[in-house]
Amino acid sequence: MIRATGITVRRSGRNLVDGADIAAAAGELTVIVGPNGAGKSTLLRVLGGDIAADAGETVLLDRPLRHWRRGEIARWRAVLPQGSALNFAFRVRDVVRLGRLPFPPSPEDGAIAARALSTVGLHGFGERLYPNLSGGEQRRVQLARVLAQADDALRAGRGVLLLDEPTANLDPAHGLAALREARRMARAGLTVLAVVHDVNLAAPFADRFIGMREGRVAFSGPPHEALTPENLRTVYGVETAVLRHPGMDCPLVAFLPGAAERA
pLDDT at residue 106 greater than cutoff 90: yes
Average pLDDT rounded to a whole number, residues 211-218: 96
pTM of the model: 0.93
Are 60 and 73 within 8 A, CB to CB? yes
Question: Would you say residue 144 lies in a domain?
Answer: no
115 assigned to some structural domain? no
pLDDT at 112 over 50: yes
Whether 121 contacts 177, CB under 8 Å: yes
CATH number (domain holding residue 54)? 3.40.50.300
Domain count, the chain: 1
Nearest one of 62, 46, 49, 41 to 6, comparing CA atoms: 46
Query: To the nearest 5 percent, what fractions of the chain are helix, strand and coil?
Result: 35, 30, 35
Distances (CA, A) of 227 to 100, 203, 211: 37, 9, 9
Burial grade of 122 (CB within 10 A; 0-12, 13-18, 19 or more): buried
pLDDT of residue 245: 76
Residue 94 lies in a domain: no
**Whole-angstrom distance, CA of residue 22 vs CA of residue 5:** 7
Rounded-to-integer distance, Cα 166 and Cα 164, Å: 6
Domain annotation covers residue 13: yes
pLDDT for 184 equals 96
Q: Is residue 63 part of a domain?
A: yes
Domain hosting 229: range is: 2-84+157-259
More confident residue, 159 or 259: 159
Q: Per-residue pLDDT for 234 more than 60?
A: yes
Res 98: pLDDT: 96
pLDDT of residue 263: 46
3-class state of residue 176 by DSSP? helix
- Per-residue model confidence as pLDDT tens digits over 145-173: 999 999 999 999 999 999 999 999 999 99
Question: Does any domain span residue 103?
Answer: no
Residue 136 lies in a domain: no
Domain assignment present for 111: no
